[in-house]
Chains A and B, each alone.
Chain A
Amino acid sequence: MAYAIEMLNITKDFPGIRANDNVTLQVEEQTVHALLGENGAGKSTIMSILFGLYQPTKGTIKVRGKEVNIKDPNVATELGIGMVHQHFKLVDNFTVTENIILGMEPKTKYYTIDIKKAAKRVEELSKQYGLNVDPYAKIEDISVGMQQRVEILKMLYRNSDILIFDEPTAVLTPQEIHELMGIMRNLIKEGKTILLITHKLKEIKAVADRCTVLRKGKYIGTVDVADTSEEQMAEMMVGRSVSFAVEKEEAKPTDVVLDIQNLNVKNVKGLLAVKDFSLQVRAGEILGLAGIDGNGQTELVYALTGLTKIESGNVLLKGKDITKLPIKQRLESGISHVPEDRHKHGLVLDFQLKENFVLHCYHKEPYAKNGILNPKAIEEYADKLIEQFDVRCGQGKDTVTRSMSGGNQQKAIIAREIDRSSDLLLVVQPTRGLDVGAIEYIHSRIVEERDKGKAVLLVSLELDEIMNLSDRIAVIHNGELSGLVYRKDTDENELGLMMSGSIKKVGAANE
């Protein structure tokens, strides 16, 4: 079979770092070819080279057997290469059609935009590939899954037949992921070639034909997906065998650390989002809070950390009432918080890494004395955390946090929060959008904290994560506690029913 793309012996150097080291990638026509690697393995670099954003230091690129020089994205587009970015590049208040034609608007004879013609074409394409998109819908009115289809249509409209998908499922719901897989298969059937960048092994198994694995910029190998197990691919990616199940011993819970008593919290709209919620978290256990997004988890976490006012009820930390304390004093009285949104809430992205490490304790000795910062102490501390938690960053402690990969940003937060050694570790969505290696690492760190005798409250939307980590599981539905069970006594099915509010099972695991 002919190759649609051949990237042969590509090496790319950046100042001080070799991002790609002799990488070869051969993609057969009309197949889904997966590119697998951890964050920072060089996936994005090699794709940027293919898309004309970077020039390779060494190596050749062939498209459909012909050697090419892709000096900018326009050349890539001419060659029929299109890219669906992880973060969509759409104008919210434009319609689907307007977004698709942006940059190459068809003109009528009066030099106005011929929207009708464009919309017709969009509709045809949508039908042909089973995308089911309304050409006149506004972007702001359609779901994230639909928006992704608009991105796909954009490429189809430009006659691309080699489609690059960059982490396409990161933002999708399970249902949408399922639909996307179907669309990919349709595209292949219609003669397209797909290059899928991902670190989710399940998806590769589901949709890809072949898979190339990169690790730390180096080419590891290319395998036929059908003949390779998830574990084997994971091992290629990480470089050692990976356990998916979190290994941990039986919890030995002791004293109550966090005691939530009849809590009521309002959301931003002024409606009661957490209703008469009571829960205890003990030292030495991981309590997972499961629930469908938007059922009061955020408000509960905000209420615990002091970001939102508590309407009524009490929060006790080690028996001390912290209900009315301001954020800072709560954190200092023993709460570590890994927030849900690391960009918005966990980090100051424009700060250097070392500054983010001391975001809570910058005013304490030894990082500061009498209100004056001690850069040396801060840097030493940063070096220590970087080493201890294996945070990878281009310029070490001076790296601007924004330029780091998501996994390393999250590692930095985890490092900071764990190192504070608080009695309660409040972890929200700790592994969202991270690769296998990072997930494994973060999970093991959380368990480690439990074993040190900390109380861990894990809030996550991913049931797998809850099931893997928790000793006890609480379920929140519509702001109320709808379930509290031991992990060992429950299964996915029962939790699902509690999450949807179909059954209520409180008290079984209430000691």
Chain B
Amino acid sequence: MNKKRSVLQISLFAVIAGILLGFVVVAITGRSPFNMFVALVRSMTGFNLTKPSQGINVTYILNWFLNTMPLILTGLSVGFAYRTGLFNIGGEGQYIVGALAASVVALTVKLPAIPHTILCVVAAMAAGALWAVLPGILKAYKNISEVVICIMMNYIAMYFSNWVVRTFLEIDTKTNARTIGFPETAGFGKVFANNPSNFNWGFLVVVVCVLIYWFVIEKTTFGFSLRATGFNKESARFAGMKVERNIVASMAISGAFAGAAGAVVILGIFKYGRIFSAMDNYGFDGISVALVGMANTPGIVLAGFLFGLLKAANTNLQLFNIPMEISELMQATIIFLVAIQYGIILLLDKFDNRKKKGEVVTEGGAAK
């Protein structure tokens, strides 16, 4: 009972409370909560409640999915490390080097369409893994906090990527701010060619990664030893598991997921090598996704869709005159509530008790 509560009810409670708070803040600041509702519904279903005659605009649904794709991947990244007792806050850096590796392969290798794209993704995952291995090694063998190293490596990744792109890749002379476009062979095509949304075949990468995550964690001996390490490093060591190797491997796989996110975004949306002027924050959002998703497979997928929706809703919220900061406020509230889960358990328990008492009273009343 309590176990179930900690997994599901808290997340649900946090999500509902976060969204409700959004409505309240919108109302207090003198804007229309109704408009916010309309914006959210439209972002999710493509249906505009104020103009039912327009019917359903699939673009919005597809954009929601598009926004969700990298979030699930970075969520898996954070979740995987978390299951081994590590906090991978370096998803952003791994995402960036993933994007970089995909760009390098896209621009320098010549292959037929499908192998080329697959090679790009594989390269991205390898790069992400490599980027995560260093903090993993330092953590495993020198007990240096992976958090600090990861944060530093995020910045290194960004500037390193920019340097590589400028120095080694062919820059687009019209803007000097990106590489030339990828060849047709590299990149994910749109699933629905006639729709303006960039929703692309990269979603297959997401599906595969979700399955890998689930399979590795739940079904393999490797996942077993990772989970043991995550719960109790010492017991795992006593049982003869290679704790250090597990930590490094877990970081590598975690990084590979983040790297895949980099590939999916750059091959699906941009289709050219980027020079980053700011971080995309997918890596950081992955922390929220993993946290709210309780690091288990269905949880991460659902949380990915939730945060994807809140991200995708930016457009519609603004269109209906709701500031986009509301979306961030809701995200922050949800994370906050999940983080203070013990407080929520207490609250829910109290609520349950009161409800029970209420039921007893009703029964007594009925008996009369």
Q: Check A328 against B242 for contact (C-beta < 8 Å).
A: yes
Taking the complex as formed, is B16 at the interface, i.e. its CB lies under 8 A from any CB of chain A?
no
Taking the complex as formed, is B219 at the interface, i.e. its CB lies under 8 A from any CB of chain A?
yes
Chain B residues within 8 Å of A358, by CB:
224
Which single member of B219, B238, B239 contacts A372 (CB below 8 Å)?
Answer: B219
Chain A residues within 8 Å of B51, by CB:
none
Q: Check A371 against B236 for contact (C-beta < 8 Å).
A: no
Q: Check B238 against A307 for contact (C-beta < 8 Å).
A: yes
Which single member of A327, A332, A360, A373 contacts B237 (CB below 8 Å)?
Answer: A327
Once the chains are docked, how many angstroms separate the CA of A354 from the CA of B262? Answer: 39
Which single member of B220, B225, B234 contacts A345 (CB below 8 Å)?
Answer: B234
Closest A residue to B3 using CB positions: A400
Q: Check A372 against B220 for contact (C-beta < 8 Å).
A: yes
Taking the complex as formed, is B311 at the interface, i.e. its CB lies under 8 A from any CB of chain A?
no
Q: Check A359 against B228 for contact (C-beta < 8 Å).
A: yes
Which single member of B223, B236, B242 contacts A348 (CB below 8 Å)?
Answer: B236
A interface residues, how many (CB within 8 angstroms):
30
Once the chains are docked, how many angstroms separate the CA of A331 from the CA of B241? Answer: 11
Which single member of A348, A368, A400 contacts B221 (CB below 8 Å)?
Answer: A368
Closest B residue to A368 using CB positions: B221
Chain A residues within 8 Å of B241, by CB:
328
Q: Check A339 against B238 for contact (C-beta < 8 Å).
A: yes
Task: Annotate A351-373 by CB proximity to B: 1 below 8 A, 0 otherwise.
Answer: 10001001110110000100111
Once the chains are docked, how many angstroms separate the CA of A371 from the CA of B231? Answer: 20
Chain A residues within 8 Å of B235, by CB:
344-348, 359
| B residues 93-131 touching A (CB-CB < 8 Å) | none
Tell whether A371 pairs with B220 under 8 Å between CB atoms, given A328-B242, A347-B235.
yes
Chain B residues within 8 Å of A355, by CB:
224, 228
Once the chains are docked, how many angstroms separate the CA of A331 from the CA of B238? Answer: 9
| B residues 333-364 touching A (CB-CB < 8 Å) | none
Once the chains are docked, how many angstroms separate the CA of A332 from the CA of B242? Answer: 14
Taking the complex as formed, is B232 at the interface, i.e. its CB lies under 8 A from any CB of chain A?
yes
Once the chains are docked, how many angstroms separate the CA of A329 from the CA of B239? Answer: 11
Once the chains are docked, how many angstroms separate the CA of A373 from the CA of B225? Answer: 11
Once the chains are docked, how many angstroms separate the CA of A358 from the CA of B225? Answer: 11
Chain A residues within 8 Å of B238, by CB:
305, 307, 327, 337, 339, 345-346
Chain B residues within 8 Å of A400, by CB:
3
Chain B residues within 8 Å of A337, by CB:
238
Q: Check A350 against B237 for contact (C-beta < 8 Å).
A: no
Once the chains are docked, how many angstroms separate the CA of A329 from the CA of B241? Answer: 10
Tell whether A362 pairs with B224 under 8 Å between CB atoms, given A344-B235, A348-B232, A350-B231.
yes
Q: Check B231 against A348 for contact (C-beta < 8 Å).
A: yes
Taking the complex as formed, is B163 at the interface, i.e. its CB lies under 8 A from any CB of chain A?
no
Q: Check B224 against A373 for contact (C-beta < 8 Å).
A: yes
Q: Check B219 against A344 for contact (C-beta < 8 Å).
A: no
Taking the complex as formed, is A349 at the interface, i.e. its CB lies under 8 A from any CB of chain B?
yes
Q: Check A349 against B234 for contact (C-beta < 8 Å).
A: no
Closest A residue to B240 using CB positions: A328
Chain B residues within 8 Å of A373, by CB:
219-221, 223-224
Taking the complex as formed, is B270 at the interface, i.e. its CB lies under 8 A from any CB of chain A?
no
Closest A residue to B224 using CB positions: A362
Tell whether A351 pairs with B240 under 8 Å between CB atoms, given A345-B235, A346-B235, A371-B220.
no
Chain A residues within 8 Å of B220, by CB:
368, 371-373
Chain B residues within 8 Å of A329, by CB:
240
Question: Which of B223, B225, B237, B238: most chain A CB closer than 10 A?
Answer: B238
Task: Annotate A179-220 by CB proximity to B: 1 below 8 A, 0 otherwise.
Answer: 000000000000000000000000000000000000000000
Once the chains are docked, how many angstroms separate the CA of A90 from the CA of B196? Answer: 63
Once the chains are docked, how many angstroms separate the CA of A368 from the CA of B237? Answer: 20
Once the chains are docked, how many angstroms separate the CA of A156 from the CA of B227? Answer: 45
Chain B residues within 8 Å of A327, by CB:
237-238, 240
Once the chains are docked, how many angstroms separate the CA of A253 from the CA of B222? Answer: 40
Tell whether A360 pairs with B239 under 8 Å between CB atoms, given A345-B234, A349-B231, A351-B227.
yes
Tell whether A372 pairs with B232 under 8 Å between CB atoms, given A327-B237, A328-B242.
no
Once the chains are docked, how many angstroms separate the CA of A305 from the CA of B231? Answer: 21
Q: Check A331 against B222 for contact (C-beta < 8 Å).
A: no
Q: Check B221 against A344 for contact (C-beta < 8 Å).
A: no
Chain A residues within 8 Å of B223, by CB:
373
Question: What distance in Å separates the Cβ of A356 from its nearest Cβ neighbour in chain B?
Answer: 9
Once the chains are docked, how many angstroms separate the CA of A9 from the CA of B122? Answer: 68
Chain B residues within 8 Å of A305, by CB:
238
Task: Annotate B203-243 by CB proximity to A: 1 below 8 A, 0 otherwise.
Answer: 00000000000000001111111011001101111111110
Q: Check B224 against A344 for contact (C-beta < 8 Å).
A: no
Which single member of A331, A350, A362, A372 contacts B225 (CB below 8 Å)?
Answer: A362
Which single member of B3, B224, B240 contacts A331 (CB below 8 Å)?
Answer: B240
Which single member of B222, B227, B231, B240 contacts A360 (CB below 8 Å)?
Answer: B240
Closest B residue to A332 using CB positions: B240
Chain B residues within 8 Å of A347, by CB:
232, 235
Once the chains are docked, how many angstroms separate the CA of A330 from the CA of B3? Answer: 37
Closest A residue to B228 using CB positions: A348
Once the chains are docked, how many angstroms separate the CA of A252 from the CA of B3? Answer: 51
Question: Which of A328, A348, A371, A373: most chain B CB closer than 10 A?
Answer: A348
Closest B residue to A330 using CB positions: B240
Q: Check B221 against A349 for contact (C-beta < 8 Å).
A: no
Q: Check B221 against A372 for contact (C-beta < 8 Å).
A: yes
Chain B residues within 8 Å of A362, by CB:
221, 224-225
Once the chains are docked, how many angstroms separate the CA of A326 from the CA of B220? Answer: 23
Once the chains are docked, how many angstroms separate the CA of A331 from the CA of B239? Answer: 8
Can you spell out 26 A-B residue pairs with CB atoms less than 8 angstroms apart? Answer: A326-B240, A326-B242, A327-B237, A327-B240, A328-B240, A329-B240, A331-B239, A332-B240, A339-B238, A344-B234, A345-B234, A345-B235, A345-B238, A346-B235, A346-B238, A347-B232, A347-B235, A348-B232, A350-B231, A351-B227, A359-B228, A362-B221, A368-B221, A371-B221, A372-B221, A373-B220
Shortest Cβ-Cβ A-B pairs, 4 listed = A328-B240, A363-B221, A359-B239, A350-B231
Q: A347-B232, A348-B227, A362-B225 are in contact. List 8 more A-B contacts (CB 8 A).
A: A326-B240, A328-B242, A345-B234, A347-B235, A350-B231, A355-B224, A363-B224, A373-B221
